[in-house]
Amino acid sequence: MTATRTKAKAQDTKRARGSGPRDPERTSASILAAAVTEFTAKGYAGARIDAIALRSGANKRMIYHYFGGKEDLFTAVLEEAYLDIRAAERKLDLDKMEPEEAIDALVEFTWRYYLKNPEFLTLVNSENLHKGRHLRSSKVIQKEYPRFLELVQGIIDRGVAKGVFRDGISAVQLNITIAAISYYYLTNRYTGSIIYDRDLMDSRRLEERLEFNLQNIRRLLYTCC
């Protein structure tokens, strides 16, 4: 057998395997997706580069090629997570709603997004365990978030002007509170279910919690009750 034939056959074999060699975008996207799953399931320290390589179907070396290393890969994952939730939020067009409606929509969105994307919560937890080291180095994030704060402040201002919201509520405090009452319930689902001796993830309880949160934020904001 000649060398040429050998090589041709080798390439056929590769193509036949199917996991898309020579397709940079697909490779790096699949690595990122696998990384999200792994970092979410195990945390930063518990995550294994080998596991990510295996799950993504890509060669381990590719992770270093595209992302640099474990730390940079985590940064990329985190960045994506923070941008994804913002992108979803923006689709709500909160600035086009009435203030009462907008707040309800934000509370409900937060709850449902956390519920459907629990990896966001885990990644944020991991990042705080590492003292925000990765997020601090991300410039994209630091440009994106002030805009969000302005949006919420806008809603409050319109509500105050309309006479339905109390004055003096800070957008930061409000926002932290809206996140907190959903985040804590969901991120501590396991210890919570043990401590309170009930399945916090039961679908009826989940709806109840959303309702409770909506009322909580309304009572906090509204001028009359």
Contacts with 122 (C-beta within 8 Å, 6 or more apart), sequence order: 39, 40, 43, 187
Q: Which single residue is written with the structure tokens 């109840």?
A: 208
Query: How many Å apart are CA 135 and CA 213, to the nearest integer?
Result: 28
Q: Residues 94, 204: contact at Cβ < 8 Å?
A: no
Structure tokens at 23: 């397709």
Query: Is residue 9 at the binding interface for its own copies, with CB under 8 A as the rule?
Result: no
Residue from 59, 153, 209, 214 that binds its own copies (CB under 8 A)? 209
Amino acid 139 reads: K
The helix-helix angle for 49-56 and 60-67 (nearest 10°) equals 100
> Are the C-beta atoms of 109 and 88 separated by less than 8 Å?
yes
Q: Which of 12, 68, 128, 161 binds its own copies (CB under 8 A)?
A: 128
**CB 36, min distance to DNA, A:** 15
Q: Are 220 and 169 in contact (CB under 8 A)?
A: yes
Q: Encoding tokens for residue 65? A: 């090629």
Q: Which stretch binds its own copies (CB under 8 A): 1-9, 58-66, 87-95, 103-111?
A: 1-9
Report how far apart, in Å, the C-alpha atoms of 150 and of each of 59, 88, 178, 179, 210 are.
43, 17, 16, 16, 25
- State yes or no: residue 203 binds its own copies (CB under 8 A): no
Interaction between residue 81 and DNA (CB under 7 A):
no
179 binds, among its own copies, DNA, none (CB under 5 to 8 A by kind): its own copies
Q: Give the residue, chosen from 8, 15, 23, 87, that forms a contact with DNA under the rule CB under 7 A.
A: 23
Task: Find the binder of its own copies among 22, 146, 203, 204 (CB under 8 A).
Answer: 146
Under the rule (CB under 8 A), what is the footprint of its own copies? 2-4, 6-7, 42-46, 122, 124-132, 135-136, 141-142, 145-146, 149, 172-173, 175-177, 179-181, 183-185, 187-198, 208-209, 212, 215-216, 219-220, 224-225
Under the rule (CB under 7 A), what is the footprint of DNA? 10, 13-14, 19-24, 27, 47-50, 58-62, 64-65, 69-71
